[in-house]
Amino acid sequence: MEVSDSFYGVVENVCRDLYIQSLKEIPPDIVEAIRQAASRETTEVAKRIFSHYLQSIELGRTQDMIVCQDTGIPIYWVNIGGTLRFDGARLNNAIVRGTERATREHPLRSSIVSPLKRENRQTSTGERVPVIHYDFAPDSDQLDILFMPKGSGSENMSSLKMLVPADGVNGIKRFVIEQVVGAGAKPCPPTIVGVGIGGSSELCMAMAKKATARPLGSKNPDPQIAALEKELFDAINQTGIGPQGLGGNTTALAVHIESAWTHITCNPVAVNMQCWRAERRRAILQADGRVEFSF
Amino acid sequence: MAEYRFKTPLTESDIRQLRVGDSVTLDGVIFGVRDANMIRVFDEHIAPPVDWRGAALLHTAPNVRKVASGKYEPISVGTTTSMRMDRFTEGLLRDYGIRAILGKGGLSAKSAEAMQKYGGCYLSVTGGAAAMETLQIEEIERAYWEDLMPECIWQFRVKGLGPMTVGIDTHGGNLQDSVQAQAQRKAAELLKKMGVA
């Protein structure tokens, strides 16, 4: 189905709204998990931190406030319906413009700089930013845009290891646990621990990141991988790192693993954590410009 | 665990009574600092344009709305990861008389030693809970070095900032560090139990 000329303007508005809304309304599955985690804490410090989390979630929802000051690196995961027809370059431009408008119109802190000169255009954009991933959905005429403002506290804890086949699944387990424990307080725990296994190096990390956006309670469809998710989740929550790394019973809200086939000599593993707010916002657009927002 | 409420500027005796796990709430003026302005002070050797004796520094770069030349209103003021600014801690205490660093995620053992030596503390702010923190900011009094936006030096007037948790005290306590050490030991045990040699 061919989109109308006004479609690109709709995409631009949607991307502006996704950015702003994602910073203010924490996904309901995350809010519920934070509430439950709060009720499991026994120490004064851990209880206080969770009460600060819950107060800030509430202020975001009811007072139209940004929950965390980190506006993050804007990342879009765009899933294109196979029967939808449009100009891809114009779509890409609309996403960039929506990001810039969110920054200017709200206004938001622009957290994006050039890597060496550290120049900030004050637009949350720059060379190759926002980061936009494209994928395709067969038999669909919708455009599905998932947005995450990836905060740097957790992003700076990302790591990849090109393990070899002889390291096996034990190598993967060791690496994930060492990374989460080593990150300690810095990624703002409790985190969602995204893990990529297999693929090439860049695919492995992209899977780890995408995994953090999976709704809580979801499992990898492969039972062996789902069992690994559970084993790692249980282990991480026994380490006692707790909220803000100050000690407590919940260190991870989930461990999500995504996988791809890999080279015969490769056994890559990537870890990408998402902080306790796990901001994400989704919009589904129809060719005629109708939009539905979700998480 | 004790609860304290202080007005800035802070004194050495205010700080030396604190123990890790205590809670501290602040009133008065605090300064926002982070990567770019710390690099300017310590690597480019440009003295900060303010007197920091007895000061509390918050690791932050806020979201603001410009209302007039040099005048900003807070939209979201939160706390960033302190470890990136770890290497500036001793200089801040020794050369500029800082008494408290407010941040998230903790500081190194070396910074904890400097805290002990010079009479400083680390106050752990709840990271990611900027909405709550923003309501505790009464006013952005000034922004210095606006060319570094958003990484200016920010002068905030705060009321009831906190409660924050004492993460590093002057008695050798370093809360994040002890939790980390314990977690490392536990992780080694868990890996053994999981059959990971």
Task: Examine the domain organization and report whether A259 and A286 are in the same domain.
Answer: no
Q: How many CB pairs under 8 A join A and B?
A: 176
Q: Closest CB to A55: pick one of B77, B129, B183.
A: B129
Task: Please tell me the distance from the alpha carbon of residue A131 to that of residue B193, in angstroms, as a whole number.
Answer: 40
Summarised one tens digit per residue, pLDDT across range A162-221 is 999 999 999 999 999 999 999 999 999 999 999 999 999 999 999 999 999 999 999 999
- Nearest chain B Cα distance for residue A219, angstroms: 21
Query: Is A90 within a domain?
Result: yes
What is the least distance, in Å, from the CA of B68 to any CA of chain A?
15
Is residue A99 predicted with pLDDT exceeding 90? yes
How wide is the angle at C-alpha B45 spanned by C-alphas B42 and B47, nearest 5°? 95
A272 confidence band (pLDDT: 50, 70, 90):
very high
Peptide bond into A165 cis (omega under 30): no
Domain membership flag for residue A49: no
A86 CA: distance to closest CA in chain B (Å): 36
pLDDT at residue number B117: 97
CB within 8 Å: A107 and B126: no
Contact B75 A107 (CB under 8 A): yes
Contact A185 B165 (CB under 8 A): no
Spatial distance between the Cα atoms of B154 and B140, rounded to a whole number of angstroms: 7
Beta pairing class for A142-150 and A281-286: antiparallel
pTM of the model: 0.94
Of the partner residues A56, A170, A277, the one whose CB lies closest to the CB of residue B132: A56
pLDDT classification of A118: cutoffs 50, 70, 90 = very high
Q: Within this chain, do residues A71 and A166 fall inside the same structural domain, yes or no?
A: no
The CATH code of the domain that includes A83 is 3.30.1330
Longest dimension (CA), chain B: 63
Q: What is the pLDDT of residue A7?
A: 96
Give the amino acid at A56.
S
Residue A184 to residue B129, Cβ atoms within 8 A? no
One-letter amino acid of B107: L
- In this structure, the answer to whether residues A192 and A122 fall within a common structural domain is no
Q: Is residue A31 part of a domain?
A: no
Residues of A in contact with B186 (CB under 8 A): 238-240
Mean pLDDT of A29-38: 98
| A249 part of contact set with chain B, CB < 8 Å | no
Residue of A56, A186, A238 with shortest CB distance to B81: A186
Domain assignment of residue A56, yes or no: no
Task: Among A45, A69, A106, select the one facing B77 at the smallest CB separation.
Answer: A69
Q: Do A181 and A268 lie in a common domain?
A: yes
Average pLDDT on B72-95 reads 96
Q: Which residue has the tokens 């969770």?
A: A50
Do residues A19 and A70 touch, judged by C-beta distance below 8 A? no
Q: Can you read off the two tokens belonging to residue A121? A: 């255009």
Residue A88 has pLDDT above 80, yes or no: yes
State whether residue A110 sits within 8 Å of chain B by CB.
yes
pLDDT score recorded for residue B1: 87
Percentage above 70 pLDDT, chain A: 100
Compute how many other C-beta atoms are within 10 angstroms of the C-beta atom of residue A132: 18
Percent of chain B with pLDDT over 90: 98
Average confidence (pLDDT) over B100-104: 97
For residue A132, pLDDT over 90 is answered with: yes
Q: Where are the domains of chain B?
A: 3-193
CATH code at B3-193 = 3.20.130.10
Is the CB of A4 inside 8 Å of chain B's CB atoms? no
In a domain, A38, yes or no: no
Looking at the structure of chain A, the number of domains it has is 2
The alpha-helical segments, DSSP class H, found in chain B are 12-16, 35-42, 89-96, 109-118, 130-134, 175-193
Q: What is the DSSP letter of A245?
A: G
The stretch A78-95 carries a mean pLDDT of 97
Q: Is residue A205 part of a domain?
A: yes
Rounded Cα–Cα distance for residues A274 and A153 (Å)? 9
The pLDDT-based confidence of B114 (bands split at 50, 70, 90) is: very high
Kindly state whether residue A141 falls inside one of the protein's structural domains.
yes
Judge whether A37 lies within some domain.
no
The pLDDT mean for chain A works out to 97
Same domain, A137 and A199: no
Chain A from 48 to 77: CB within 8 A of any B CB = 48-49, 52-53, 55-57, 59-60, 63, 65-71
What per-residue confidence (pLDDT) applies to B61?
A: 87
Strands (E), B56-152: 56-59, 63-68, 71-76, 100-103, 121-124, 137-144
Q: What percent of chain A has pLDDT over 90?
A: 99
β-partners of residue A254 are A192
- Asked if B187 lies within 8 A of A68 by C-beta distance, the reply is no
How high does pLDDT run on average in chain B?
A: 96
Same domain, A173 and A204: yes
Residue-level pLDDT at A85: 96
pLDDT of amino acid B104: 96
Shortest distance between the Cα of B166 and any Cα of chain A, in A, equals 10
Angle between helices A168-183 and B175-193 in degrees, nearest 10: 170
Mean pLDDT along residues A8-37: 98
Residues of B in contact with A153 (CB under 8 A): 80-81, 104-105, 127-128
pLDDT digits (tens, 9 = 90+) for B13-64: 999 999 999 999 999 999 999 999 999 999 999 999 999 999 999 999 899 9
Would you say residue A224 has pLDDT above 80? yes
pLDDT digits (tens, 9 = 90+) for B138-192: 999 999 999 999 999 999 999 999 999 999 999 999 999 999 999 999 999 999 9
In the predicted structure, residue B197 carries a pLDDT above the cut 80:
no
A192 in contact with chain B, both atoms CB, cutoff 8 A: no
A102 with A176, same domain: the answer is: no
User: What pLDDT score was predicted for residue B135?
Assistant: 97
Kindly report the nearest CA distance between residue B85 and chain A, in angstroms: 13
Taking an 8 Å cut-off on Cβ atoms, the answer to whether A186 and B105 are in contact is: yes
Same domain, A169 and A228: yes
Domain that holds residue A284: 7-23+67-151+279-294
Closest-CA distance, A112 to chain B, in angstroms, reads 10
Q: What is the pLDDT of residues A147-167, one digit of tens each?
A: 999 999 999 999 999 999 999
Nearest to B65 by CA among B76, B57, B79, B80: B76
Q: What ipTM does the predicted assembly reach?
A: 0.92
Name the β-bridge partners of A157: none
Residue A276 banded pLDDT, cuts 50, 70, 90: very high
Residues A168, A117 share a domain:
no
Judged by CB atoms closer than 8 Å, whether chains meet at B81 and A238 is answered as no
* Short-list B162, B189, B190, B130, CA closest to B18: B162
Shared domain check, A160 and A260: yes
Inspect the interface and report whether the beta carbons of A246 and B175 lie closer than 8 Å.
yes
Residues A170 and A289 placed together within one structural domain of the fold: no
Residue A140 sits in the same domain as residue A217: no
